[in-house]
Structure 1
Amino acid sequence: MKSREPGAPRLAALAALMADETRAACLLALLDGRAWTAGELARHSGVAASTASEHLGKLVAGGLLAEERQGRHRYVRLADARVAGLVEDLAAYAAPDGGERPPTLRAASARDAMARGRTCYDHLAGRLGIALTDALVRRGDLQTDTGFALSPQGVDLFAALGIGLERSGRRPMARACLDWTERLPHLAGTAGAALCSHAFDAGWVVRIGSERAVRVTPDGERAFGDALGIGAESLR
């Protein structure tokens, strides 16, 4: 018997796309906002290249991934910010409660680095993302009464820092994204993406390792301290 709910088949199809550990691993890896090759995702997921290609084809056909080709190389990335938000929200919901111990010292170090600071698609997350968000709220730059919204003062702050805010498309200017390690909301949306992009361009943050983990540089500690009043110890 078919469901009387018209949205049920689409929801079931979407859930089925993500209900595979290899495809889930690929989606989580692509939360770094970059384009990956099938070979890179195969190695990351621990499967054969042919297996990865098959899974990626399904994700592309299902609209979760976008495909790009440069010469002989094929790259995939998350289709858009909405897909990234969906993956991050599900990861937060499914995150362990802290009782699981990493199997190796290397895995424990990688987990700790991701918890300290990382990219969540195109914005900053982890304790770093929470510290920035809390500072914006504390200063009155970010309002949280009915969801996240930049205040006029917050818009002025971004302008003073030289961070452009493009008001185009359907993407909200500010959006709360539940952090899967901190279980608190961090800043996403256009403002979150612009802040993250500027932080990389200005050398305030740099990537570490091959994962999404980032660290704040000395220049970043000074910049975030001057602009938002965040102590250096909160950024490390």
Structure 2
Amino acid sequence: MRLYAIGDIHGQLDKLLEAHDRIQTEAGHDAVIAHVGDLIDRGPDSRGVVEHLMRGRDAGRNWIVVRGNHDRFLPAFLERPDWIDPGLSSGQHWIDHPGLGAAQTLASYGVDPGLDREALLREVRRAVPPDHARFLATLPLWHLHPLALVVHAGIRPGVGLLDQAEQDLVWIRQGFLDSDADFGPLVVHGHTALDSAAHHGNRLNLDGGAGYGRPLCAAVIEPRGAHLLTGKGRVPLVPEMTG
């Protein structure tokens, strides 16, 4: 039994295609591949990433995609233009925050991000296909596989899976990253960007910082351990101390 998993994509379609090719070379087109969310923002082709994953879903690929905090921004803007995610400590809107990458996402849909707010909303509603917004808005918050729990940010220790709050599932850091609790299944997540994937025994962080120009991490989880998939082959992901 194997589970392949891919970290935060952030609009990096070329890197996603490369990761899929690497996995399919090893395991074929029927490989079970989990994506930990944050499909859009920062990178150059958020639209292409969404289209590629939707095509895979429609073709019946064994692809799991969970919802990241960034995946909420675009659908929310279309439905509730003034909504500000409470997870943002800055209190800034997705459109106005310079580090969130809204401009790149809008440009991938052919929208000029420099328009005034009213014109921008009108153009986004015209340019973004409804099925793209619906796909992002309806992604599951987690997926439980026999080998791992796949979630974007993590889970609140001591809280049952069915009682986890959405805000924690897509935003949590403090209380999860520093926990050495046995979560039961290995928690495979992203959200907190590193230089590369890191295994902490109870959790595996796959956000290698693709949104900041670093590699997109792809890994394979098996009953006896996990490996990072690289252009030179498998690299063991050895559990580190949490802290």
TM-score range (shorter-chain normalised) is: under 0.3
Structure of greater relative contact order (alpha carbons < 8 Å, 6+ residues apart): 2
TM-score by length of 2: 0.25
- Choose between structure 1 and 2: higher helix proportion: 1
